[in-house]
Structure 1
Amino acid sequence: MTSGGHSVLVVPVPELEPFVRGRWVHYLPSWLSHDPTFTHAHITALAPYLPRPTAADLARVAGVAAATTPFDYVLREVAELPDGFLHAPPEPVEPFVALTHALWEAFPQCPPYAGEYDVAPHVTLDQRSDLVSARSTRALLGDLLPARCRADRLELHWYEEGNCHVVVDWKLG
C-alpha cells in the first residue's frame, strides 16, 4: 500500500457486481480495479481503516471475522441517502451494524465514516442527477433485485487511482 490511497474493510456483494462495476466504468474508469478478486459492489464494514495495518492489526481483524457467523440477507429496494447517493440497504441490517461495531471496538481510532455519518449499511449503486433517480436505477437493475445474498467473508480493499485491489480477505465464522 502506498500513501496516495486508503483502505476499507468490506463485505463483498458479488450478486450486484456487474451493475456496480458498470457504474465505476462510467463514473470512475481510472479507479476500476484490474484485480479479479476485487468486488466493486460491497457493503462497507469499516472505513476509513488504517493506512498501513500491521500483522497484529490484521490478526485483530481475523479475530473479528472468525467471531462473526456468516449470515443471509436480501437487497430488495433502491433508496436515496441525504447526499443523493442511491443505494440498496440490506435486510436485515443488524448483522452488518454488529460487524461494524465489533471492528470499531477493535479499532477505536477508526470511527465509521470518520464519525461524520451514522452507520447505515448499504450497497452504493449510483448518484442522483437530472437523469438518474431511484426509479431509473431500479429499472436498470431489472432482475438483479431482489438479490438473495450471503455474507461469508470480509475483505480489506485498497483504493488508489490505478491501483484498487484486495489486500487480504477472511472467511466469517
Structure 2
Amino acid sequence: MATHPGHTVLQVPVPQLETFVRARTAHYDADYVSADPDYVHAHVTALGPFLPPEAIGGPERDSILEILRETEPFEFVLARVATFPNGIIHLVPEPEEPFRRLTARLARAFPQCPPYAGQFPDVRPHLTLDAVSDSVSDSVSEASTRRLLGELVPARCRAERLDLAWYEQGGCRVLASWPLGPQDGMVGPSRRDVVTPAARAVSVPVSDPRT
C-alpha cells in the first residue's frame, strides 16, 4: 500500500454510519483507522484538502467560526446509495442543499482551497462507503454495499459540528472541532478549539476511496 502525505479536511461527522465506514477503512488499510476517539471516519466533506495546520491561525479560525455561526444545525437523511464515475460508492444526503451552501461559503472564504483541488466541476455532497472492485477475492458493487448496509439505512442524521481533521496513514485525528449555529464553546467530548500540530500537509489524490 502506497504511503500518501497528509492533509487537512473540514468535515461534518456522521456517527450513525461510523461502524460501517470504520470497518471498511480497516478492510482496505488499517493504518487509516484512527486511534483518536473523537475522530469520526464516517463524514460528509465540507472542504478539502484544506490549509496546512500551521497556516490556520486566528484570522482563518475567525473566518470559519463566522460561517458556522450563520449555519444552523440541520437534519438530513442518508438512504440513497449511488456510485461516482470513478467507482466511489457513497450515500447521498437528502437534502443536499445545506451541505452545498456550507461548502460554497467555505470555498469563497478560502479560494486557495477549491473543493477536491478543483478536479470536479460539480461537487456533490456524499458520504463515502466503498469502492467498486471486481477482484475475485474482494468483489464490491453498489448492490453488495446496499446489502451490507442492511438496517443502517435509512439513517436520520443531524449536522451539529464541523471537524478539522488530519488525514494521513498512521495519523488520522481531529485537530479542532467547532459547533454549527450561534453558540459559544465547543461540542463533542474533547471540546477542541485549538489547531494541534500535524506533520506534512500536502493533498493526497482525490481518488482515494477513503476521503
TM class by shorter chain equals over 0.9
2:51 corresponds to 1:65: no
Q: Give per-residue Cα distances to partners, 1:21-47, cap 9 Å, x unaligned.
A: 000100021111000000000000001
Paired letter, 1:138: R
Paired letter, 1:160: E
**Aligned counterpart, 1:127:** 131
**Aligned counterpart, 1:83:** 86
**Corresponding residue SS for 2:51:** coil
Stretch deviating more after TM superposition (78-87 or 62-71): 62-71
**Residue 51 of structure 1, CA deviation:** 1.1
Contact 1:23/1:125 (CA < 8 Å) preserved in 2? Answer: yes
| Higher radius of gyration, 1 or 2 | 2
**Corresponding residue SS for 1:89:** strand
Equivalent-residue separation in structure 2 for 1:19 and 1:150 (angstroms): 18
Q: How does 1:148-159 map to 2 (within 5 A)?
A: 148-159=156-167
2:58 corresponds to 1:55: yes
**Corresponding residue SS for 2:133:** coil
Paired letter, 2:86: D
**Residue 60 of structure 1, CA deviation:** 1.2
Contact 1:104/1:112 (CA < 8 Å) preserved in 2? Answer: yes
Calculate percent identity across the aligned residue pairs: 55
Aligned pairs, number: 170
Q: Give the gaps of 5 or more residues in structure 2.
A: 182-211
Equivalent-residue separation in structure 2 for 1:31 and 1:169 (angstroms): 20
**Corresponding residue SS for 1:77:** strand
**Residue 55 of structure 1, CA deviation:** 2.5
Equivalent-residue separation in structure 1 for 2:84 and 2:6 (angstroms): 25
**Corresponding residue SS for 2:31:** helix
Deviating runs (4+, > 2 A) in structure 1? none
Q: Give per-residue Cα distances to partners, 1:90-123, cap 9 Å, x unaligned.
A: 0000000000001011101111111101210000
Q: Give per-residue Cα distances to partners, 1:54-104, cap 9 Å, x unaligned.
A: 222122111111110110000012110010000001000000000000101
Contact 1:77/1:138 (CA < 8 Å) preserved in 2? Answer: no
Q: Give per-residue Cα distances to partners, 1:144-173, cap 9 Å, x unaligned.
A: 000000011101000121111001111100
**Corresponding residue SS for 1:63:** helix
Paired letter, 1:120: R
TM-score (norm 1): 0.96
Paired letter, 2:20: F
